[in-house]
Structure 1
């Protein structure tokens, strides 16, 4: 049945369920009646709301929030909220004189929204006070005092004040946006909270940042809150305005994941430019099979295998995993080795659900050198690397000792549709993990690919560089051309796709630096 032939009341019910603004725009052009129902001008105004602690942004966002409080139907149009200020230090909020003048009716609406968002007692009073500020400058302070206040720590009172205001605005906006699907945000708690507090979860009375508190409470009781029920994806902004964004930077990404992992509709969490926080003495431990997150994307980053294993094992179901290095410089010059054997063990329990796998870290897998494949030394080199690991990697192996002794080869991943990896990782994955020193059975690559595989991207392959690789790729091409393979597309054979790598010198290689999607200074 044609959509236009449906009764108007049915059309009016369907249109709000179309989440992509582009699809709605195209639909609105089909006829005048649909155009009126779509109300694109209003939808575009509320579709994405940005919250940034600059005076003009704060006031614009506050006005949008009040419009929604006065007309709750407008909150149904909000699909994405972007919050772009990360707390630089752990502070308590200092309440100051209110700077806004609201009518009694508007103030009652605002007060009711704060209570509905779950704030009570002293927190309710503090959040209301934050919302009643119309500038990041605390009353009684002048520009000169703000400029030099706490300058040794790289922040000032205006930045601190603005961070609290932005978080309060974001929390209330989320609470009045029932159809919210996407959340883009910075870490909502102090950068150094893990170091200062030994990695322990903050108690409610110690949690001064309203957005952090709001998200923790909602995730703890996901079915009791009328908000965040439709949130599907979260993107964590890593860039800190006070740091050199040419280098990988640390946030407590694992703790951030625990702010969303119980939500009923959550699917994915992603980030860029992330590195591990060496100052975090006791990171959050993610419980195995506890998270509703099923898609993880970490790009342009530098992380140890233990970090990735923890994320993977926390998923009840894993459908997509992407991890790529490159685009930033490693502070201190140390790179994060990638343990292919441990990684394959960690994803093996998800062999019946994994659909997309993209690993671009072969530059950090030195045991996949072509000579080691030619001399059948790959297993030996990987085992030697394991013997050289430190105690932290012993903990990593401990997490995986309960796994079965099967080969854990690529062919066993029965639902895999898209695979993007380096040539060395591809061949090793196809061989399967060898748990003993016995000989391997000979094979050709097309014989051990999952039947479900539709797309294959091979990075770093150059014909003539390794004879054993050439034999596998030649057989793969024959299978693909003959139509015997289920593959629909292969890239990286005729044209070399280079493996990503860390930027050695950010001063000399500016063209290799990754540019942030979201600007924290906007």
Structure 2
């Protein structure tokens, strides 16, 4: 039977089972009848929701009322972006003070809105009433109105709850709260810390705890952490401090999450509690154009149950104080090596932010052993109290893991991108089975199933920035690689960065080098008809 001859109810079922808007768009081209059933103009209007300024809030509220009236419209929402943090002016708002409702709603709309709030999962009636009051803020307000961050978070929470097919979520910092133990201690001392009203943050926390028992966020696969454009700590040309751990902890337990991404971030001024290891559901982590101290990278890598793809690169931004962050090659590689059974893609572009490499200690000379004291130990009472329930169920560590680790033992790795010196170090390895520089052979220490190799920062004739390595070592090793790869690495079909240099990512010296700034992603996907 031809697709064109199917009854409308059958066609509706076919269309409803297509998760991709592109697939629906292709199907809509078959004939006028199918195009009408696909409702492409309506799909485009509801495809993405952005919450950046008060103009967006007004549009999003109208879309929310339409979805509550016709729930099938919520099936069309695939991406929500929250770009409004709890910052107003030079300070942060924490607590919301209810005011008389200033948004007139029909009784039917008000009833549906109340029911939607009840389904968010908050049990306290007082909390539900406060959220309703947030949503009844005036339709028109200034961006610096202290109610605007709360309205944005309330809208984001309810919109997510009525969008069962939501695939991607982007959000900026949604509020800092002190760890549980510190709050308990403050309360015991008779000086309780203020209670925050960060609705979206608390909504994600509830959803993470209940997991598959919640009727939403079951299809969310991609999460992106954003720097709030309205509350940058420094000029936009600088890396921005970002509380990475809070964001990770909000999404790591969501049932379908696969990838997380962030750009242009630096260490937080006041970091939250690091996530526990081996419990995050994401398998792909991308951190680009950023400058993070190595503990952030280590804890992020360790937080995943299984990691398939990891990308970290510096460059395209300036450092506000002119300092470079510390990268600890061994600590980062050992964290990655714990995922040797799953890691398929690795991309590290960090060498331009380092100095001379010391092979005796296999760490950058900028790194000092004393810095390990600043790492948050796993026996910290604050950490243990924060994740007590999860730590009880933490899967046991495989004690059979060998002390020695090198690239050769990453049997699943297919796509590798590294700076030329890090490539040398990781191929040489760490632990008891290291080869001396005289007997080391790069081609013999690369992953056996490698398909693609990309080398950053190599130039023909360059001298290695490695102590104890001969001046011609890099050139000789790469020449040997190219000569023997077909025999020893039969799957390796792409090698880049030897004949044509690939520059290292580079932290820019000062904000005046505008031509070297990372411009950010073009917002081409936002179109006028989406808010029509």
Output the TM-score relative to the length of structure 1: 0.85
The answer to whether 1:161 aligns with 2:147 is yes
Does the 8 A contact of 2:450 with 2:489 survive in 1?
A: no
Q: CA deviation at 1:517?
A: 3.4
For 1:76, the equivalent position in structure 2 comes to 75
Q: CA deviation at 1:437?
A: 8.4
The answer to whether 1:338 aligns with 2:327 is yes
RMSD of equivalent CA atoms: 3.3
The answer to whether 1:454 aligns with 2:451 is yes
After TM superposition, the structure 1 stretch with the greater mean CA deviation from structure 2, 253-262 or 167-176, is 253-262
**Partners in 2 of 1:450 and 1:460 — Cα distance?**
21
**Partners in 2 of 1:217 and 1:200 — Cα distance?**
20
Judging changes above 3 Å, is the alpha-carbon distance between structure 1 residues 382 and 46 closer, same or farther for their aligned structure 2 residues?
same
Judging changes above 3 Å, is the alpha-carbon distance between structure 1 residues 246 and 342 closer, same or farther for their aligned structure 2 residues?
same
Q: CA deviation at 1:201?
A: 12
Does the 8 A contact of 2:83 with 2:229 survive in 1?
A: no
Judging changes above 3 Å, is the alpha-carbon distance between structure 1 residues 314 and 381 closer, same or farther for their aligned structure 2 residues?
closer
**Partners in 1 of 2:206 and 2:333 — Cα distance?**
35
The answer to whether 1:419 aligns with 2:411 is no
CA offsets 1:430-482 (integer angstroms, 9 cap, x no match): 11114588746724333222232212111111111142111222122224567
Could you tell me which of 140, 156, 164 is aligned with 1:170? 156
For 1:53, the equivalent position in structure 2 comes to 53
**Partners in 1 of 2:193 and 2:214 — Cα distance?**
18
After TM superposition, the structure 1 stretch with the greater mean CA deviation from structure 2, 39-48 or 428-437, is 428-437
CA offsets 1:139-167 (integer angstroms, 9 cap, x no match): xxxx8xxxxxxxxxxx95x1x21111111
After TM superposition, the structure 1 stretch with the greater mean CA deviation from structure 2, 198-207 or 476-485, is 198-207
**Partners in 2 of 1:80 and 1:47 — Cα distance?**
7
Find the residue that maps to 1:102 and give its secondary structure: coil
Does the 8 A contact of 2:243 with 2:270 survive in 1?
A: no
For 2:108, the equivalent position in structure 1 comes to 105
Find the residue that maps to 2:310 and give its secondary structure: strand
What is the number of equivalent residue pairs in this alignment?
488
Q: CA deviation at 1:209?
A: 1.2
**Partners in 2 of 1:8 and 1:215 — Cα distance?**
38
Q: CA deviation at 1:123?
A: 1.2
CA offsets 1:88-130 (integer angstroms, 9 cap, x no match): 2142111122122121111101111111112341111111111
For 1:517, the equivalent position in structure 2 comes to 521
Could you tell me which of 241, 249, 254 is aligned with 2:245? 254
Instruction: Name the one with the larger helix percent.
Output: 1
**Partners in 1 of 2:60 and 2:125 — Cα distance?**
25
Output the TM-score relative to the length of structure 2: 0.83
The answer to whether 1:361 aligns with 2:336 is no
Q: How does 1:65-464 map to 2 (within 5 A)?
A: 65-88=64-87, 89-119=92-122, 120-135=124-139, 137=141, 156=144, 158=145, 160-190=146-176, 193-194=177-178, 206-243=195-232, 244-280=235-271, 283-368=272-357, 378-380=359-361, 382=363, 388-392=369-373, 404-435=401-432, 439=436, 442-464=439-461
After TM superposition, the structure 1 stretch with the greater mean CA deviation from structure 2, 79-88 or 236-245, is 236-245
**Structure 2, unpaired ranges of 5+:** 187-191, 381-396, 464-471, 527-532
**Partners in 2 of 1:207 and 1:449 — Cα distance?**
51
